[in-house]
Structure 1
Amino acid sequence: MEFDAIDALRDRHPAWRLLRAANAPLILSFLGDFFVEGNRGATAAGEVASALDDALYALNADPDDPRFPKAPLAYLEDWAAPEVGWLRRFYPPASDEIHYEVTPAFEKALAWVESLRTRSFVGTESRLHTVVELLSQIVHGSETDPEKRLVELRRRRDELDREIAAAEAGEIRLLDATGVRDRYQQVAATARELLSDFREVEENFRGLDRQAREKIATWDGSKGELLADLVGSRADISASDQGRSFQAFHDFLLSEVRQDELSTLLMRVSALELVIQDPRLRTIHHDWSEAAERAQRTVRQISEQLRRFLDDQVWLENRRVLDLVRAVETTALTVRERPPEFGLAVDEPGVQIALPFDRPLYDARPASQVESLVPPVPDEDLDTGLLFAQTFVDQARLAENIRTLVPPRSSALLSDIVQFFPIEQGAAEIIGYLALQDDDLQVDLDDSDETLLDYTVPGDEDGTASRRRRARLPKVTVTRR
């Protein structure tokens, strides 16, 4: 980098500005522990201020001469100022309380400070193996010659055959303690870097969403051109390298088989006594799911902007039609008394004849008789079976099904849930899933995709056989907070 570029970064970049701040230790320690280590996204201002108040109380040991005399909310407002850029301050949809979340610039400063700490063990072997493995995947994954690919596949098969033969003979090669610690250190560092990368991906998606909002607010062309531009932008996000990589990662997390495999591996690694355990690594896959869902929610906001724009345009067009109708009525009232001199006079095609005696004569209505004594109705045999044939969907059972399959702070598709708990009460049970309102459960519908749910309608008592049905719904995602 050139001198001018570095000088501009020193003056303008929020991360560099944070490292030069007088309260940098307070900012890095509190925000890093609360947001980064706690894997929190947007959090209400009251909750953040309460946690900061506790931290300031511990730091201000001398009440007569406090190190940090300002109120917690004053510190948060200073850190979220536009010229500072360490916190993002905003109002989320359907909320009237200010929320805060850290920016990617803060995480870069925090990661640099953490890298300054002296490490008792610096592993290099695992990173070398990772580099070689990635280079091998690039070379062989881009090979178009079938013969060369077959040679590589046969070589890998021979290596597996030799390992199988050695294992059958009782010769098992194990990693030594150094190799285990080396690889564990790299896994922990990569897992934390992924969470930091998710915040940057979310910030990039939020920037694209902001551009779409600005374009809608300032657009003065036709609606079709704007929709084509916005839909193209949405397609560019999905088709970009960042979008495709993020979608592949998100699909991996939503796969139940992959989640089970990852949970098993993390559990077995956490049971090893050869390494100093990182407590956050045990549930890192849940943190990934929550961070990925926040980024996915930001992408869905662009689709919501399109829908809101269409609704606003329909309202404006309807209002334009009403304005035209009122203008025509006003003009007609203006010229009614003084019609214009120009025009055509059209003779009546005929004369309307009205005969007075064609009207019917007055016909007196007969007096009505009111019978106050109603004769009793004989008892009838009523079919009360319909009262007991009503279908009741137990939403508590549906919520328990979701909690059984979905861990806390993770998501799953409704189609995956009904594979383990088949639908027994038809369309009423599907509607029961969509209408869940528990505090720890959230049901989201994505109109950009669809879900097909197969279920069986049970037969009636009169001998009607059960029937297979298929429901077509938008993509339904169930999130457990």
Structure 2
Amino acid sequence: MNFTGLQAKYRRIFDDSKAWKLLRADNAPIILSFLASIFAEESEVPFSRARIDLDAELIRLGELGVWETDTSAGVYLNLWIKAGWLREMDDMLSKTEAAEIALRFCKSLDEKANVTTASHLRIVQEAVRELLVAISTNPEERLVLLEEKKAAIQYEIDQLHAGVIVELSAAEQAERIREIYQLASVLPGDFRRVEDEIRMLDQSLRVQIIEADTTRGDVLQSVMEQETVLENTDAGRAFEGFFQLLCEQNRSMEFRDQLRTVLNQPAADHLTPPQKHFLTQLMRELTRESDRVFKIRRRTEEGLRNYIESGWARENLAVDRLLSRLERTAVALRERSLNPRCLTRLSLPVGPVQINSPEKMRLRTPDEKLDTSGIREKKNSDKPSFEMLNILDTVRIRHVAEKARSALARHGPMTIGEIAAIHPLTAGLEELVAFLRVAKAVGAASMDRQEKIELRDKQGHFMRASIPCFLLSAELFPENPDNLNI
């Protein structure tokens, strides 16, 4: 790429990158220091606590003459949320990917690059060797590569049997453990990227629903396709890889124990206290980040479902079409040089407009006496009623998976529509989405066609949906339903 092309590329990044905007903000040092301090121990903090802490800092900075402002801390926090540096959900604040990138960049300027070229070269060599074994289609080449790897491992085993123990020097230990920290420090940023991509997916689907007059089945198919794309991104693969590690209890405990053992070795003295603390809390932090991603996914799915079922999308589409007609009519009037104030025969499908003055409002006269003769005192119960439990009842995906597996074990391989013919869907789109998630989780084969399903919601309303056709069988399900990634 020539100079002009690179200039255009960096100009676009300069204008669009939220991380770059944070770094060049007028009070960037103060903003970054506040973000680093407030999120030093936790990945999420209450909005009220952040406002109180920022208020205290603003007062202190005003007394020192560093930053004199009349703007309140709550306004600043909302501005930073709008700028894309903070994210608020359920009155809890967290950093965005842009803030993570800016803080990591500043940290890299302060920390010396102690990792030598030899350490980087070793990692690259090991990655190239493993990739060659994985992508080679020639059995002989794979055997040669694996034999070389086997010979190297056998040589180390023979050395140990002979009593020869090769120890790393202090410099090598320092560079190895610093390399571990460098690799681990970027993991939280991957989860921030997954959050941003989930939110972008939500926005793109809502725009797609409004712009295209699609059916609910088409929307469901779009959700499944977009989530497949999300899983194949770098951040999505990092999240799925960590989730697999988290699900395998033996590997998770082994990694946690190995990390604890490494940090108890003298090599850990080459890390700074913040770096050592970060690695100590690594698994706990990643677990919290994983739970947060699942929470955002669940909320996005619920919001999309409510958006589809409520009919808001079609109402927005009707409003957009009406506005489009008005715009075309206005353009036609201008092109014909007509006075916009003249009378026309244009008729719009709107209801009558009623304008009332507050003076016409009349207060209702209260009843002179409240009749309480038919009221009886009733003791509160500590057990929920059936009506309450029925309202709180939601679709449990594990129960759906067990029901699907039971039907497949009795009747053989079937599609979701055939399973629904045996076990009718009575919980609406939520239950249908649960069946689709089960099909994706077990790796059901796609039939490259669609099938129509009739279902009813909890109120008994009849619906018909068109969904991708998947072929399921009982052999695809694991013995333990908890092992399903749903």
TM-score range with shorter-chain normalisation? 0.5 to 0.7
Cα 1:44–1:143, aligned 2, differ >3 Å: closer, same or farther? same
CA contact (8 A) 1:238 1:244 kept: yes
Residue 276 of structure 1: aligned partner: 270
Out of 94, 97, 101, the residue aligned to residue 94 of structure 2 is 101
In 2, the alpha carbon distance for the partners of 1:68 and 1:25 equals 15
In 1, the alpha carbon distance for the partners of 2:233 and 2:194 equals 12
Q: Per the alignment, in what secondary structure is the counterpart of residue 116 of structure 1?
A: helix
Residue 71 of structure 1: aligned partner: 72
Out of 178, 184, 205, the residue aligned to residue 212 of structure 1 is 205
In the alignment, residue 85 of structure 2 is paired with which amino acid? W
Deviation at 1:26, TM superposition (A): 0.8
Within 5 Å, give how 1:323-402 maps onto structure 2: none
Cα 1:239–1:178, aligned 2, differ >3 Å: closer, same or farther? closer
Out of 110, 114, 117, the residue aligned to residue 117 of structure 1 is 110
Cα 1:55–1:169, aligned 2, differ >3 Å: closer, same or farther? farther
Deviation at 1:208, TM superposition (A): 0.8
In the alignment, residue 51 of structure 1 is paired with which amino acid? D
Q: Per the alignment, in what secondary structure is the counterpart of residue 270 of structure 2?
A: coil
Residue 132 of structure 1: aligned partner: 125
Cα 1:208–1:156, aligned 2, differ >3 Å: closer, same or farther? same
In 2, the alpha carbon distance for the partners of 1:312 and 1:3 equals 47
Deviation at 1:214, TM superposition (A): 3.1
In 2, the alpha carbon distance for the partners of 1:471 and 1:119 equals 50
- Deviation track 1:356-402 (CA, whole Å, cap 9, x = no partner) reads xxxxxxxxxxxxxxxxxxxxxxxxxxxxxxxxxxxxxxxxxxxxxxx
Residue 164 of structure 2: aligned partner: 171
CA contact (8 A) 2:51 2:73 kept: yes
In 2, the alpha carbon distance for the partners of 1:284 and 1:472 equals 28
In 1, the alpha carbon distance for the partners of 2:11 and 2:244 equals 42
CA contact (8 A) 1:124 1:182 kept: no
- Deviation track 1:186-215 (CA, whole Å, cap 9, x = no partner) reads 111111111122212221122112212333
Residue 292 of structure 2: aligned partner: 294
Cα 1:3–1:161, aligned 2, differ >3 Å: closer, same or farther? closer
Residue 186 of structure 1: aligned partner: 179
In 1, the alpha carbon distance for the partners of 2:67 and 2:99 equals 23
In 1, the alpha carbon distance for the partners of 2:193 and 2:241 equals 17
Out of 228, 236, 240, the residue aligned to residue 221 of structure 2 is 228
Which structure has the larger Rg over C-alpha atoms? Answer: 1
In 1, the alpha carbon distance for the partners of 2:222 and 2:247 equals 31
CA contact (8 A) 1:449 1:475 kept: no
Out of 279, 282, 285, the residue aligned to residue 283 of structure 2 is 285
Out of 21, 25, 40, the residue aligned to residue 43 of structure 2 is 40
Deviation at 1:270, TM superposition (A): 1.1
Residue 24 of structure 1: aligned partner: 28
Q: Per the alignment, in what secondary structure is the counterpart of residue 101 of structure 1?
A: strand
TM-score by length of 1: 0.59
- Deviation track 1:244-272 (CA, whole Å, cap 9, x = no partner) reads 44312211122211111111111111112
CA contact (8 A) 2:22 2:28 kept: yes
**Identical aligned pairs, as a percentage?**
27
Q: Per the alignment, in what secondary structure is the counterpart of residue 285 of structure 1?
A: helix
In 2, the alpha carbon distance for the partners of 1:15 and 1:87 equals 11
CA contact (8 A) 1:234 1:302 kept: no
Cα 1:138–1:253, aligned 2, differ >3 Å: closer, same or farther? same
Task: Give 1 or 2: higher helix fraction.
Answer: 2
Deviation at 1:283, TM superposition (A): 1.6
In 2, the alpha carbon distance for the partners of 1:471 and 1:304 equals 29
Unaligned regions of 5+ residues in structure 2, if any?
315-397, 400-432, 443-477
CA contact (8 A) 1:213 1:305 kept: no
Residue 85 of structure 1: aligned partner: 84
Within 5 Å, give how 1:447-462 maps onto structure 2: 448-449=437-438
Deviation at 1:105, TM superposition (A): 1.8
Cα 1:446–1:257, aligned 2, differ >3 Å: closer, same or farther? farther
Deviation at 1:282, TM superposition (A): 1.0
Q: How many residues align?
A: 323
TM-score by length of 2: 0.58
Out of 5, 8, 14, the residue aligned to residue 4 of structure 1 is 8
Deviation at 1:45, TM superposition (A): 1.7
CA contact (8 A) 2:243 2:290 kept: yes
More displaced stretch, 2-11 vs 215-224? 215-224
Residue 331 of structure 1: aligned partner: none
Residue 149 of structure 2: aligned partner: 156
Cα 1:2–1:112, aligned 2, differ >3 Å: closer, same or farther? same
In 1, the alpha carbon distance for the partners of 2:173 and 2:78 equals 45
CA contact (8 A) 2:195 2:293 kept: yes
- Deviation track 1:396-453 (CA, whole Å, cap 9, x = no partner) reads xxxxxxxxxxxxxxxxxx99xxxxxxxxxxxxxxxxxxxxxxxxxxxxx97734999x
Deviation at 1:476, TM superposition (A): 8.8
In 2, the alpha carbon distance for the partners of 1:11 and 1:309 equals 33
In the alignment, residue 67 of structure 1 is paired with which amino acid? W
- Deviation track 1:108-142 (CA, whole Å, cap 9, x = no partner) reads 22222222225173433221110111111111111
In the alignment, residue 71 of structure 1 is paired with which amino acid? S
Cα 1:222–1:251, aligned 2, differ >3 Å: closer, same or farther? same
Residue 53 of structure 2: aligned partner: 51
Unaligned regions of 5+ residues in structure 1, if any?
317-413, 416-444, 453-469
CA contact (8 A) 2:47 2:93 kept: yes
